[in-house]
Amino acid sequence: MNSAPLTIWCNYYFPEPAFSELRERLKQHRLVLSPGMQKSNLVQGEYDALLNDADIALGQPDVKQAMELSRLRWVHLTSAGYTRYDRDDIRQAFERRGAAMTNSSQVYAEPCAEHVLAMMMALGRRLPQGMMDQLGPKTWHAAEHRAQCKLLLGQKVLILGLGSIGSRLVELLQPFKMDITAVRRKASGSELCLVVSTDRTDELLAQADHVVNVLPANASTERFLDRRRISLMKPTANFYNIGRGNTVDQAALMDALKNRKIAAAYLDVADPEPVPPGDPLWTTPNCFITPHTAGGHHDEFSRLARHFADNFDRFLEGKELKDRIA
């Protein structure tokens, strides 16, 4: 094990007791806090001279600076998404100097997968509609709701993108004996469901009862679900988005819901975020929105700290890092 003290730069705000746990795990090394600490993973960090002397970066460092620093051996992102770092020039720069980049997908896989399952079950049992009856007209639509409730058993699920979140969702759905297919650029061979090429997306959209979008934001996924692809979905299908808002043509999605071309949509992400108070998305029929909370959980910060600390131990021991993306 490498015992030489290392300098770990951090620009992500860890509240207590997560910060104490992180500090304790790194006590033999130097933890340097950026003056530009941030509480959101969605915001890119700014240039920080302190990063120039760091061996490891934790948080969301400035892209250009992280790419150019020859001393920086490892960048660990405190997020599952890594759109701003998903560039060939960054990967090439890291490869040239033998550096690594990891994210925190394993921290967010469980809450995001549970979030989708919760909404999938809620829509099947018409829980949102029952809540609207309670908060609105106080009407008793027993016969209507009973007749429209659906079982998950045997239904077809299409997952767009199968990273850590999609893979965990597959595990959670297996007890319901659903027919699950995922599309991704390349199969690893270890997936727990049928994986096919993205070339078959159109065909599978037309068959799915549930379409779950976990796509990251990059050049190839911009408006991946455009008006044409949304039109391929069944009128009885439900759509779920916990990927990124700009992977979907939001106006086309609203039109499909208004015209009953699809049954319902659940959105944890949107374009833009936050959704403005007067945006028609809020009042689109059968559109259910949560404010980018799918990854949230009561011990999120502690799990983030432990994930980095565990990976730090692996780094010191020369083992393969978890959640490696470059």
Residues 117 and 224 in one domain: yes
Instruction: Look at residue 325 and tell me if it is in a domain.
Output: no
Give the structural domain span for 305: 7-103+298-317
Q: What is the pLDDT of residue 3?
A: 64
Residues 124 and 217 in one domain: yes
Instruction: Look at residue 326 and tell me if it is in a domain.
Output: no
What is the CA angle 260-205-131, rounded to 5?
Answer: 45
Residues 98 and 76 in one domain: yes
Residues 57 and 190 in one domain: no
Q: What is the pLDDT of residue 1?
A: 47
Distance CA 82, CA 84 (A): 6
Residues 269 and 199 in one domain: yes
Please tell me whether residue 243 adopts helix, strand or coil conformation: coil
Residues 18 and 132 in one domain: no
How many domains does the chain fold into?
A: 2
Torsion, Cα of 77, 78, 83, 86 (10° steps): 20
| Residues 36 and 13 sit within 8 Å (Cβ to Cβ) | no
Q: What is the pLDDT along the chain (326 residues), one digit of tens a residue?
A: 456 899 999 999 999 999 999 999 999 999 999 999 999 888 889 999 999 999 999 999 999 999 999 999 999 999 999 999 999 999 999 999 999 999 999 999 999 999 999 999 999 999 999 999 999 999 999 999 999 999 999 999 999 999 999 999 999 999 999 999 999 988 777 889 999 999 999 999 999 999 999 999 988 999 999 999 999 999 999 999 999 999 999 999 999 999 999 999 999 999 999 999 999 999 999 999 999 999 999 999 999 999 999 999 999 999 999 999 99
Q: Which residue is it, tokens 């699920």? A: 157
DSSP, residue by residue, 59-86: E---HHHHHH-SS--EEEESSS--GGG-
